[in-house]
Amino acid sequence: MPLARTHTCGRRPAFVKGVCVLGTDKILKDLQKAVLSYDPDAAVKATKAAIKAKVPPMDVIDEGLVPAIEMVGDLFERMEIFLPDLMLAADAVKSSTSLLLPLLPKEGKNIKATVIVATVQGDVHEIGKNIVASMLMARGFNVIDMGVDVKTSDLVETTKKEKAKVICASALMSSTLGSQKDIVDYLASTGMRKKVAVLIGGGPTSKAWAKEIGADDWGADANAAVKLAEKYSKAR
């Protein structure tokens, strides 16, 4: 049985051999295979097997999921795999963590912060937002992807409800930049501004625009967004 299906780049992953040494246990290897073959159903199956075998949930995350999804993220960075692979792999990780997180003792939940990701109100462009969401998931953040054309009020309410520390707001049109400013203003008016970092991105955005509207920072691409999310989630 192949370890991983052919990627959208048309090649089989070059790191397949590496999978064998990542995990010490067949269950963890199966979980890695599920992520590397972008299969959420297989990820759920392997996670359930791990739980049944009483593998500590944190070990499942640290030794099973994280190395595999980091490899996927690196391959995407080098464009050796493409967006659908990245999104499906992130989905497999999410399917697995949704089963594991409730089992972690509260003090042991060293999963990274919750990040809200959305394309702003009035804008339906989703690819950049999807890349950022998947890369954040790949780096261990708890990502809540609210989709596109997200109402500012809904975004802020969800941030509050989920106790998110970071908002990543994408805008791809010059006419929707203003919605990024709305997010900052809305947070300020509800007394939440200091609790949440607002990171912006998208084609027509810039560091100067982030400064002008009072956002915390601007990411030129998904990689930058991940680094900024690391930085700002720790600061809050």
Partner 1 sequence: MVQILDIMEKALNGKPMSETDYQLKLFAPKCQEKVKAHGIKFDLKNPICDDDSLADDVFEAAVELLIDVGAYCTNTNRIISYTENEIKDALTNAPNEILMGEGKDKRWLRPRKVEDKTPPWCLLGAGGGACASDKSFLALVEGYAEIPEVDAITTPAITRVGGMRIRPASPLELLGAMRNAVLAREATNRAGRQGIPIMNSLATAESDIALAAALHPKYGMRASDGYMICCMDPMKVDFNRLNKVTVALSMGGPIGMCFGPLMGGYSGGPESTAVSLTAHHMMGILTYQSSWLLPFPLHLRYVSSSSREMLALISATGQAISRNTHLISINLNYTSGGPCTPMCLYETTASVTAAVVSGQSIESLGVASNRDEDRTSPVEPRISAEVGHAVAGIKRSDANELVKKLLPKYEAKLPNPNLGKTLFEVWDPEKRRPSKDYLRVIKDYKRTMAGLGVELKPEKY
From the CB of 21, what's the least distance to partner 1, in Å? 29
Of the candidate residues 42, 88, 100, 150, the single one contacting partner 1 (CB under 8 A): 88
Residue 213 near residue 184, CB atoms below 8 Å: yes
Q: Of 24-32, 99-107, 132-140, 171-179, which segment contacts partner 1 by CB under 8 A?
A: 171-179
d(CA 180, CA 45): 40
Q: Is 203 in the site for partner 1 (CB under 8 A)?
A: yes
Residue 143 near residue 136, CB atoms below 8 Å: yes
Of the candidate residues 83, 101, 103, 235, the single one contacting partner 1 (CB under 8 A): 83
Q: Is 177 in the site for partner 1 (CB under 8 A)?
A: yes
From the CB of 206, what's the least distance to partner 1, in Å? 7
Our CB check for partner 1 shows the closer of 124 and 188 to be 124
Residue 30 near residue 68, CB atoms below 8 Å: no
Of the candidate residues 32, 37, 47, 176, the single one contacting partner 1 (CB under 8 A): 176
The 3-class secondary structure across 94-126, one letter per residue, is: HHHHHHHHHHCCHHHCCCCCEEEEEEECCCCCC
Report the candidate in 129, 218, 205 with the shortest Cα–Cα distance to residue 173: 205
110-139 residues near partner 1, rule: CB under 8 A: 121-125, 127
Residue 128 near residue 114, CB atoms below 8 Å: no
Our CB check for partner 1 shows the closer of 221 and 235 to be 221
Phi then psi dihedrals of residue 57, to 5 deg = -55, -35
> Which residues contact partner 1 (rule: CB under 8 A)?
6, 8-10, 79, 82-84, 87-88, 121-125, 127, 173-179, 203-204, 206, 221
